[in-house]
Amino acid sequence: MTVIDANRMHEIETRYPEYFHRSFRQRFGGLMILITTLLYSLYAVWFFDLPKLFAEAHWERVGIYLSQWVSYDVQPEFRIEGDGSIDIRYPRFSPLGDNPHPDWLVNNPDGSITVSISGTSRSVTVSKSETIVTAHGVSVPVEVSSGAPKVVGPVPGWMTVYDDNVLADLGFAGNVSISVDRVKIRKRFIGWANFIFDTQSSFFDKPVGEVVSLIVSGPRTKPDQSNLSLAFDDIWNNSEWQHGDVWTKLFQTIVMAFLGTLLGALTAFPLAFMAARNITPNRLLNQVLKRFFDFLRSVDMLIWALFLTRAFGPGPLAGSGAIFLTETGSLGKLYSEGLENIDNKPREGVRSTGASNILVHRYGIMPQIVPVFVSQTLYQWESNVRGATIIGAVGAGGIGLKLWEAMRTNANWENVAYMVILILIVVFLFDAASNALRHRLMGTKTH
């Protein structure tokens, strides 16, 4: 066992003071960061009033909206006439078409009508004197012959009684609103209604096999147009899903991102050479251009889009212009910083041969910066595909505007889901393509 005397210990302390005489920051830095983070978190809770926010939030709407993303509903209305007959009506533009005869609606021999909401466990039977709602293992009669609907017996928790109507909540399957002279039913189905053919199409409500047979070898539905062409027109011009308009707007978004990024890169490239101190030894010009890049970057793309839509009106031109201005600032900064960090030895070697400045730039600088510049530009393009969707919501064109219009109605959430899925697919594809190109240019392998 080695024994270290006092002199040897003093010598070690003198040689390595950072280990034996640590500063306050070194000793308590981690603890101070932890305390600061905790204090900031408490301040954020107070500043945003998070307890009140969470207490007053309408969490039930989350489930409603999510269910509407993956389902649709049919809303038959049963009107009880004065002679005791029941008239069935559907809203305009019903997913079932103009003259529906669904198999979940049964006319009984006694004149009543039974609607299956969810199999046999949830159903509604409508007659001239009462409506019977069956759910959660019980059947609850509601009399409708007097001045106001009246629940017979105890009122279950899933049923609410108002002055002039009774509302039965049947969960995801739907709901029933009962008044004296009418019964409104909302029946929910999983899936997207009429996604391929709308109710006005000649192929609406036909089995898949019959549609394929008509397209391949069936007689022409319209004498002057083949069934294949007619089917494509019906899908593209689907009035409910608007596939043609959605895909056109999606393509506009992609073109906006490409055009804005391309123009921004072409503009930023020469300006970056003038902004780089080691390329253009003019400090005033360097600073002016760098502050110009900062100005273009500091104004968000969304704000540029608002300005340009006021100047040029709504449309993809304003969107492309907003991306162009933002990318000129972003890419100008990235390009100029990349130029300032190049290795000067190849440049000096080319200059020593007596080459002109253009040749010095071409052979001493370009081989170093082109892969980096292209990689940065591809990343910005990929990011702008997402950004173009956002600025479209303020009138800059593209699928963002279409998405905002669908969300504003607060009723077409399945259309919102459709467009969101398309956007996710496009972003995923562009992300994969951009990553592959960047790795190829930088000479690295993807994993």
Question: pLDDT 10s digit of each residue in the chain, 447 long?
Answer: 556 666 676 676 676 666 666 667 767 778 889 999 999 999 999 988 888 888 888 877 777 788 888 899 999 999 988 777 889 999 888 888 888 888 899 999 888 999 999 877 899 999 988 899 999 889 999 998 777 888 888 899 999 998 889 999 988 888 999 998 899 999 999 999 899 998 888 888 888 888 899 888 888 888 888 889 999 999 999 988 999 999 999 999 999 999 999 999 999 999 998 998 888 888 899 899 999 999 998 888 889 998 888 888 888 888 899 999 999 999 999 999 888 888 777 777 877 877 777 787 777 878 888 888 888 888 888 888 888 888 888 877 788 888 888 888 777 888 999 999 999 998 888 888 888 877 777 666 555
Q: Which residue has the tokens 């920051």?
A: 25
Neighbouring C-beta atoms of residue 240, cutoff 10 Å: 19
pLDDT of residue 394: 80
> Please, are residues 268 and 326 in contact by the beta-carbon 8 Å criterion?
no
385 class by beta-carbon count within 10 Å (0-12 exposed, 13-18 middle, 19+ buried): buried
Kindly report whether the global pTM for this prediction surpasses the value 0.85: no
User: What is the DSSP secondary-structure string of 396-417?
Assistant: I-SHHHHHHHHHHTTS-HHHHH
pLDDT of residue 219: 85
Separation of alpha carbons 105 and 250, rounded Å: 40
123 backbone dihedrals φ, ψ, rounded to 5°: -150, 165
Read off the tokens for 6: 């006092």
Strands (E), 179-334: 182-190
Domains in the chain, CATH or no CATH each: 74-190 (no CATH), 243-442 (1.10.3720.10)
Separation of alpha carbons 126 and 111, rounded Å: 9
Element (H, E) at 87: strand 86-89
Question: Would you call 9 helix, strand, or coil by DSSP?
Answer: helix
Q: Which of 121, 123, 155, 124 is nearest to 137 (CA)?
A: 121
pLDDT of residue 265: 93
Question: Would you call 438 helix, strand, or coil by DSSP?
Answer: helix
Question: Would you call 168 helix, strand, or coil by DSSP?
Answer: strand
Write the single-letter amino acid at 368.
Q
- Beta strand pairing call for 86-89 and 77-80: antiparallel
> Please, are residues 153 and 161 in contact by the beta-carbon 8 Å criterion?
no
